[in-house]
Structure 1
Amino acid sequence: MRFSQVDVFSSEPLRGNPVAVVHDAAGVTDEQMAAFARWTNLSETTFLLPPTTPDADYRLRIWTPGGELPFAGHPTLGSAHAWLGAGGVPAAGAEDVVVQECGAGLVRLRRQDGRLSFLAPPLVRSGPVDDADLRAIARALGIDRADIVDSAWVDNGPGWVGVLLADADAVLALQPDWAAFGGLDIGVVGPHAAGGPADVEVRAFCPGLGITEDPVTGSLNAGLGQWLAGDRLPSSYVAAQGTALQRSGRVHVSLVGPRGTGEVWVGGDTRTTVSGTVDL
């Protein structure tokens, strides 16, 4: 089977988040998918399959070393890049619009100014975080409860809860207590000062998925955009992520339309870094 490994969310080689993509995976079993995801040991490994609906161009299954996800952002962008690079032609006839089928439903992608972006799927859980969870989140992050400026559930499938800190320095200084997570998947965001490398700094902690810290995370940034864009953050902004892991991720988030009812688009650069075949 054809295989691609795509670096996502960085214009610099080897500085984003890689996703392993297996093409033409219709004959691959669940057990083989899970085993290959554990073997690659990347944040996500994906498998391209024929769609089950005429409304989609392909179906995508997304696996972490710990199990399958209904949706994830950087695998969505990287897999679309790989599918197009292998000669995929969108059924709608529009070169710059791709429709992906996955566990979360249909996800629309577009190419604009040479960069792929996806439409943030609806949140499956949103709203305020209760005090007991906030105390647990603070313990897991190794900070005081008072250091949390704001918080919200921003779950579009992986289980994210979003936490806003005072600034980017506070985000980069975090030293999580992994034993205290108790199944939480925590995304943290803080603003950079004017003239900084990006508008905000983001970190994603998800030990329950078999990953302690994810380098650059599309699903989290989609949820954070739905929560913060056009309110505490501008309608369009750039998030830096991966700095603490010596990566240079840049996630482009745009709210199109009114807050609450508009569309949030999440985009980034993609490039194939490894290509060949895989024998499962």
Structure 2
Amino acid sequence: MKYLNFKQVDVFPNEAFKGNPVAVIFDADDLTSEQMKDIASWTNLSETTFVCKPEDENADYKLRIFTPNNELPFAGHPTIGSSFAILQNGLVPKNKNYLVQECGVGLVKIDFTEDKTYFSLPEPKISELQDRQFDGIIDSLGIKKSDVVHSKNINIGAEWLTLELKNASIVKNIEPNFKLMEQYIYEGTTGVTIFGKNKEDKDTTFEVRSFAPKEGVDEDPVCGSGNGCVAVMNDLYGLLEEKEFSNSQGECINRNGRVYIKKENVLKLGGVSKIMIDGTIAIEKQ
């Protein structure tokens, strides 16, 4: 039996145990992809990550990211939670005040401040939803075409069908038909992210929900890449004048998450992380 360091991190919490947990496993170079997949299925979190030695000399570490069903080239909340855990585990960054993560989309820069961690969004790829796909998604959400303000297919490493709805109230009241939704989440796409302007909550700008039934996660508690797509949509259409804003997510499944977005030279997305479990995980040797 082999024992590896293990941390479980609550990412984006606005109060204790109300964020989105990610399991982080260190020194994972000797694990096979099949072992990683089995562990991720067992933890049954939206993502489990495996910290490995970097292959690129400019990176501080390499991260592999798994949902209960598949490996992802990139995801937001695992990037933030894992980078925080890596620093807490004693890694000394090659550069002052930031880390460089190697993952499936290449190199991702991660800034750390006193209380938050931010990653720079990968360059987005933006396309239109197919008409049949758009109609199927709104049917699965139980809404009307007139409820949708903007819609795009946005890929920032993870690809989300991203819909802006008229307001946060519509977003919160949706009860998705996941079986129907699955039919319109085509191969290579993570899921569906919806958002609407939050007029009732003065502390946050948008209410966000993200659905990934094909990944084994019907509703993601607080989704980094989904919120990243919201940031891209905001930038694309100029929905806000502010260079910094925050989103809320998770209320519909008894979570309370906060995601922070700012635009400097690039779009950056961040939040708070807290280590809730710190120990080891037992791995059977192959």
TM-score range, shorter chain: over 0.9
Structure 2 Cα separation of the partners of residues 2 and 163 of structure 1: 39
Could you tell me which residue of structure 1 aligns to residue 197 of structure 2? Answer: 191
Does residue 223 (structure 1) correspond to residue 212 (structure 2)? The answer is: no
1:173-207: CA deviations, max 9, x gaps? 01111111115211000001165341110000110
1:59 to 2:62 alignment: yes
Q: TM-score, normalised by structure 2?
A: 0.92
- SS of the residue corresponding to residue 176 of structure 1 reads coil
Paired residue type of 2:222: V
Distance 1:150 1:171 in 2: 14
| TM-score normalised by L of structure 1 | 0.94
Q: How many residues align?
A: 272
Residue 208 of structure 1 aligns to a residue whose secondary structure is: helix
1:31 aligns with 34
Contact 2:133–2:184 under 8 Å retained in 1: no
Letter in 2 for 1:245: I
Q: 1:195 to 1:34 in 2, by over 3 A?
A: closer
* Distance in 2, Cα, partners of 1:178 & 1:16: 23
Structure 1 Cα separation of the partners of residues 129 and 243 of structure 2:
24
Confirm whether residue 154 of structure 1 aligns to residue 162 of structure 2: no
Q: Distance in 2 between matches of 1:71 and 1:110?
A: 17
CA RMSD between the two structures: 1.3
CA distances 1:11-57 after superposition (whole Å, capped 9, x unpaired): 42101000000011111111110000000000000000000011100
Q: Give the unaligned 5+ runs of structure 2.
A: 186-190
Structure 2 residue corresponding to 1:232, chosen from 219, 222, 239:
239
Which residue pairs with 1:167 in the alignment? 167
**Cα-to-partner distance string for 1:188-245 (whole Å, 9 max, x where unaligned):** 0000116534111000011011110000011111121012137113332110001111
Distance 2:11 2:201 in 1: 24
Tell me which residue corresponds to 1:241: 249
Residue aligning to 2:109: 108
Matched residues in 2 for 1:197 and 1:235: separation? 15
Corresponding position of 1:177: 177
Secondary structure in structure 2 of the residue aligned to 1:99: strand
**Hey, what does 2:269 align to over in structure 1?**
266
Structure 2 residue aligned with 1:135: 135
Q: Is the 8 A contact 2:193 2:226 kept in 1?
A: yes
Partner of 2:48: 45
Deviates more, 1:160-169 or 1:148-157: 148-157
Q: SS state of the match for residue 217, structure 2? A: coil
**8 Å CA contact retained: 2:198, 2:205:** yes
Identity %: 38
Structure 1 unaligned regions, length at least 5: 257-261
Residues 123-165 of structure 1 show CA distances to partners (whole Å, capped at 9, x for unaligned) of 2x30332322210110121112221111111122332011011
Residue aligned with 2:59, SS:
coil
